[in-house]
Amino acid sequence: MARVDEALADRPRLATLFRNCFPNTLDTTTELHDDGSTYVFTGDIPAMWLRDSSAQVSPYLSLAGQDADVRRIISGLIRKQIGYILIDPYANAFNRTADGACWAPDETDQNDWVWERKYEIDSLCYPLWLAHRYWQATGDDGVLAEYYESVKAGVNFMKWVDQDGDGLVDVMGSNQYYDNWPAMAGAAIHISGYWLATLRIAERMAEKMGDGEFAEDCRSWIERGSRSLEEKLWDEAGGSYLLYHQPETGIKSDSVLSDQIIGQWFAHVHR
Statement: residue 232 has pLDDT above 90: yes
87-106 residue pLDDT tens = 998 899 999 999 999 998 88
Statement: residue 49 has pLDDT above 80: yes
Determine the pLDDT at residue 163: 85
- CA 247 → CA 41, 169, 194, 199, 252, distances in Å? 39, 14, 21, 24, 8
Q: What is the pTM of this model?
A: 0.87
Residues 6 or more apart whose Cβ sits within 8 Å of residue 265: none
Statement: residue 173 has pLDDT above 70: no
CA atoms within 13 A on the CB side of 83: 18
Share above pLDDT 90 across residues of the chain, in percent, rounded to a whole number = 62
Out of 28-32, 140-144, 185-189, 266-270, least confident range: 266-270
Out of 27-41, 67-81, 165-179, least confident range: 165-179
Statement: residue 267 has pLDDT above 80: no
Determine the pLDDT at residue 194: 87
Greatest mean pLDDT among 48-52, 180-184, 254-258: 48-52
Statement: residue 236 has pLDDT above 80: yes
Mean pLDDT for 78-86 is 94
Q: At what angle do helices 212-233 and 189-208 cross, to 10 degrees?
A: 160
Statement: residue 200 has pLDDT above 80: yes
Statement: residue 263 has pLDDT above 80: no
- Do the Cβ atoms of 81 and 156 come closer than 8 Å? no
More confident residue, 54 or 191: 54
Statement: residue 271 has pLDDT above 70: no
Q: Band of the pLDDT at 270, cuts 50, 70, 90?
A: low
